Amino acid sequence: DDILDRAFTALKPLLRPSAAAKRPRLTGVWKEEGCRRRFSRLLDRLVRLRKERELAQGGEATEKADRVAQGEDILARLCSALMPLLAKDEAATACRRRGTLVGEIARISHGVGLQMSNAVVWDVVRVLEQRGDLATNGRDIELRTVGILDSVAPLKAFACDLPMLDCLARERLEKRAKRRKSREMGKASKRRRVDAAG
């Protein structure tokens, strides 16, 4: 663990947004394209190793990973129950944007007694895409409804799972917002340096 911590501390300067720019502010061998690709692979391996070490030690990290895995399993089963309803709904099958589909999924689920939050519905759309039920081409989407069988599980049966799904969905949104804020801060810092140099 100490070695991993020291490795990340040493590599931290290379993780700044300026290092990933088209003209990175790096020196020495790090300026070479091949070296940057090898560094990216090394970083991926370090991240995976640190996660594996955290899970092996148990505690909060293991509990969170188990909770996420459980949530993904529930979402997959929920999508299986939802797809037959989407396939029979003209408004849902006509959707060509994710945002519009989110609204239709919320309408359909509410109609059968399942009050999903917006955050959970967006997670449902994510899983539909991962499963191949939702074809994408840039921003365009299309539901794949060929061969969809009737559901064996009513949507309302997932009501008891919604609090956990909502919590997980909001955690994902918060992480995404933090990443976006970090990128914006990096861009703002770059603009200030450019303005100061000019």
Residue 136's DSSP bridge partners are 141
Q: What is the pTM of this model?
A: 0.66
- According to the model, what pLDDT value does residue 191 have? 80
Which of 125, 120, 128 is closest to 161 using CA atoms? 120
List the structure tokens of 139: 């921003």
Report angle CA 136, 137, 142 to the nearest 5 degrees: 45
Q: Which residues contact 161 (CB under 8 A, 6 or more apart)?
A: 74, 78
198 residues of the chain, pLDDT tens digit each: 577 677 767 776 666 555 555 555 556 655 566 666 776 777 778 777 777 776 666 667 677 878 899 999 999 999 999 999 999 999 999 999 999 999 999 999 999 999 999 999 999 999 999 999 999 998 999 999 887 777 667 889 999 999 999 999 999 889 888 888 887 887 787 788 777 776
How far is CA 79 from each of CA 62, 136, 145, 147, rounded to the nearest angstrom?
26, 17, 13, 15
| 153: region left, alpha or beta (phi > 0 left; psi from -120 to 50 alpha) | beta
